[in-house]
């Protein structure tokens, strides 16, 4: 009986320290599982692709605050700032900071106002929202995004 009481006292005394340690560690963002470089999306991934080839030209790069994407017609990556990211049953939903602003409409061309430049997104229904679907441990897709019809795989 004394052993049980002693074990209970130790357990009760250890709980506040464990709770304090857990509270002091910052929680990972809901999209932490995506951090890193991904290839594919624009084209099927070759089974002969090496890690060096993948890292030399990734299609999408996820970080804590930014998502960068490659394009077939642009030589540089397009950057989208993450406004919010939330977990969904299928993966993660991103809301980006507004893309091309309405200020572009204020630039006047030779014949008056020019239309604003197209908003940069992923070819989804809303350029400021991206739904990432987890298809496996190292495979994702962007459902409903015409710019990324193929799955993406994580660069090793």
Q: Where are the domains of the chain?
A: 28-101+116-154
Distance CA 67, CA 42 (A): 16
Cβ proximity of 39 and 155 under 8 Å: yes
CATH number of the domain at 28-101+116-154, please?
Answer: 2.40.128
Q: What is the pLDDT of residue 5?
A: 43
Task: Return the biggest CA–CA distance within the chain.
Answer: 92
**Which residue shows structure tokens 């992923």?**
122
Q: Comparing 16-20, 119-123, 140-144, which segment has the lowest mean pLDDT?
A: 16-20
Q: What is the pLDDT of residue 11?
A: 46
């Amino acid at each position: 009986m004394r052993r049980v009481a002693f074990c209970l006292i130790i357990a009760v005394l250890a709980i506040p320290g464990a709770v304090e340690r857990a509270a002091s560690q910052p929680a990972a963002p809901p999209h932490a599982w995506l951090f890193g470089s991904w290839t594919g999306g624009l084209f099927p991934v070759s089974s002969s692709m090496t890690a060096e080839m993948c890292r030399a030209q990734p299609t999408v790069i996820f970080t804590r605050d930014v998502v960068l994407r490659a394009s077939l017609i642009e030589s540089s990556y397009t950057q989208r700032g993450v406004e919010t990211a939330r977990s969904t049953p299928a993966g993660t939903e991103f809301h980006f900071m507004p893309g091309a602003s309405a200020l572009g409409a204020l630039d006047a061309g030779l014949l008056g106002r020019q239309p604003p430049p197209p908003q940069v997104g992923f070819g989804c229904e809303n350029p400021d929202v991206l739904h990432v679907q987890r298809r496996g441990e190292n495979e994702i897709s962007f459902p409903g995004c015409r710019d990324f019809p193929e799955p993406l795989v994580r660069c090793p």
